[in-house]
Amino acid sequence: MNLPPPPLPLPGAALFLDFDGTLAPLQSNPDAVILPEGGGETLRALAAKLGGALAVLSGRDIRDLSKRIPDNLWRAGGHGLEVCAPGDAPEDEPNAAPPALVDALSLLAAGVEGARLEPKGEVLALHYRAAPDAGAVLQNAMEKIIAGIDGYILQPGKMVLEAKPVHANKGLTLMRFLERQPFAGLSPVMVGDDATDEDAMAEAKAAGGYGVKIGTGDTHAAYGLASPADVWRWLEAAAQ
């Protein structure tokens, strides 16, 4: 599906941005992912133009995300489990996932060469970019493990499988943002590349806004951009 490029987000819009795969290209090592040079300044300028109604919604832990995003922006980590307002610092320690889940997924990752478990507070991400042929086997095993953990679901993504609490959902997070200032009453725009972003795109559409899909794949989005580089050209044009 070829989607048209999105209009520029102007005052009256509430802009929500995914991080990995949207503001920065996906990499095999998540620790190496950073904003491009000048990216922080562009986000701050655009946030000011939008009256502060810009937030980064990420599956990363809020402490990790806050190292990569200017702290004078709204940030939501763990698919919305934790939110920081501009100028606020996250709590020192995250809540932990159930020990039984951590142990089981650690054993699963250790048994597959190239797989790696990344703890993100209550969210656990099993990466298999270095073992792409193992995806189906890992997902089947992870489904069985999570079935025994109350309150947890499996969220597949791009070369990653996440175990997350049922309420860790970017769609729910976007809705909660729209109930608070400075986002209330504005038209939401959700920009993302992965399955976790689709929940928020659907909610943005239902609230009178729209989604922007980065890359290819089935989507709720009305508009599309090919890559993070295109996202930055769009953001820079809007910030001017």
Catalytic residues: 18
Q: How far is CA 100 from CA 68, 96, 97, 124, in A?
A: 31, 11, 9, 12
Cβ–Cβ < 8 Å for 102, 119: yes
Q: How many CA atoms lie within 13 A of 51 on its CB side?
A: 11
Helices (H) and strands (E) in the chain, counts: 7, 11
Q: Rounded to an integer, what distance in angstroms lies between the CA atom of residue 48 and that of residue 237?
A: 14
The DSSP bridge partners found for residue 76 are: 57, 83
